[in-house]
Amino acid sequence: MSRSGSHSHRVRRWCLIAAVVAVWVQQVEGVWPLPQQLHQSADRDCLSPQRFSFTYGRDSAAQTGCSVLDAAFKRYFSIIFPDFTTLSENVLQYMWSEPQPFVVSVSVKTRGCDGYPDEDSDESYMLSVSEGQAVLRSVSVWGALRGLESLSQLVYQDDYGTYFINKTEIVDFPRFAFRGLLLDTSRHYLPLYAILKTLDAMAYSKLNVFHWHIVDDPSFPYQSRTFPDLSNKGAFHPFTHIYTQSDVIRVIEHARMRGIRVVPEFDSPGHTQSWGKGQPGLLTPCYKGSVPSGSFGPVDPTVDTTYKFMESLLKEVKFVFPDSYVHLGGDEVSFACWQSNPNVRKFMEKMGFGKDFTKLESFYMESIMNMTAALNKTSIVWQDVFDYHERIPQDTVLEIWKGAKYQTELSRMTQAGHRVLLSAPWYINHISYGQDWRNSYAVQPQNFSGTDEQKKLVIGGEVAMWGEYVDATNLSPRLWPRACAAAERLWSNEEKTLNADLAFPRLKEFRCELLRRGIQAEPLFVGHCRHEYDGLQLIFSLTGLCCC
């Protein structure tokens, strides 16, 4: 027999064995998060990395040169075929010489390749997988990214390493426009690679807002170009534990290429102890009796220099962070230091605030929110600002973080006409033994007393990972796959995803997929992932294929 004939015989032998063994493989139907509409059949195509390609549809407004999609095509090829570059050419010649071409055609109605995702971005898409092709259609490049993610999760391997994709029809769009994840980089500094890896995992889960709680009491790692002493004196270390302007740009661009917004938080007037180290006169001097104690409290809201500083800082934030939102904090302000300070008490008397220090905080927060409005930025504030009955600009977004009665808070805030974000039930820095993801999965963000119009004001929510006990060593396993529960709740149809038992097999499979993609996601329960072993040796031993 000729060498070419031997090759053909071995390939046919390989395909026959792959087809027989394929019945052993149980592909979990579905994608995480679950699409709005998903229909699959048992018919499927065998995929070859050498004959698989992405292309732009003829009617697509975006074509070659679109930075977002060009990069996504390369990225998702590697995700779909993670072992492709590790296989020898000889093995590929044996295994992939005969499968048919498979082309993924992507068409978008509006180009938008150089812009940033925003609150009005259309993330809807339609995906049709048939023999030899997949057709992905979307309004925007951001919807195309979501469709590519779903496509990547439809591809699976049997125990012999053969890639398959079933015929599938998907119509999909997010339930909520704001699906966020908060990282705290003040309590523990998170190196750049940890943030970028988190952004990757967010894209896999279709989360679309990175809430960067970048500074707080313990440290000020943001390197301000206007006020360099803030990080020089307020960071854990002025050179190693900072985010330079280049670092911030890299995070924003990495996020943009994955359809993720970056919303920074500069929380004040509380949570600002690190600020005071590099900005003398910003914090309120605390008193013991009639003399200063040497300690400092929140930002001093009684002096003009405070507002000049905040205006300059917020102007820089507008320049550095392109998103239209900025988080201003406003939570957990201790009034003890203000109460002790005679100058603050005089200011209170002058303003007619009496002894109600919530009015003093309201005065400060209203001033800061007016500054952001003047900069054409939308403010997000924690619920404390609303609870203190402050005069809040109507377009301000309120974020609920207190867990006890968040349904009541949802009713009150939406009744007042404000848009709301829910994070209270998704503080997953709190851990417990067992499958605590089920608690996150059971949350129903619109299950509160109110009209349909009120419920439309709930624009989404976010997972919060506060950093008291989290750094780069345990960030990923504490986040993933637990954050995925909230991701599905915020994306998918609630009526189709109420049963956590039905969701468990998909989440278990998705956790394994995260591991394949380099995300150190912790296990959900007893078991294993199929890709924990090398199936190629099994292929060679059963088929007689060799690398010679």
**Residues with active-site annotation:** 332
Residue 468 CA from chain centroid, whole number: 20
Q: Which residue has the tokens 């910003």?
A: 282
User: In sequence order, what E strands does 355-499 have?
Assistant: 378-382, 397-400, 419-422, 458-465
- The H-assigned helical ranges of 332-382 are 336-340, 342-351, 357-374
- Please answer whether residues 331 and 358 qualify as being in contact, where contact means their C-beta atoms are separated by less than 8 angstroms: no
As a whole number of angstroms, the distance between CA 509 and CA 525 comes to 12
Other C-beta atoms lying within 10 Å of the C-beta of residue 19: 12
**283-288 vs 261-265, strand pairing mode:** unpaired
Sorted by sequence, the CB contacts under 8 Å of residue 544 that are 6+ apart come out as 10, 13
Q: How far is CA 38 from CA 170, 173, 267, 492, 501, in A?
A: 5, 12, 42, 11, 19
Size (the chain), residues: 548
Residue 171 φ then ψ, to 5° = -120, 120
Residue 492 CA from chain centroid, whole number: 16
For residue 479, the surrounding DSSP H or E stretch is: helix 475-479
- Please answer whether residues 66 and 113 qualify as being in contact, where contact means their C-beta atoms are separated by less than 8 angstroms: yes
Nearest to 180 by CA among 469, 491, 441, 508: 491
CA end-to-end span of the chain, whole Å?
A: 17
- Please answer whether residues 96 and 126 qualify as being in contact, where contact means their C-beta atoms are separated by less than 8 angstroms: no
422 three-state secondary structure:
strand
Nearest to 104 by CA among 123, 81, 76: 76
Tell whether the torsion through CA atoms of 55, 58, 64 and 68 is positive or negative.
Answer: negative
> 199 is written with which tokens?
């952004």
As a whole number of angstroms, the distance between CA 35 and CA 13 comes to 37
Residue 27 CA from chain centroid, whole number: 26
Nearest to 284 by CA among 268, 294, 299, 270: 299
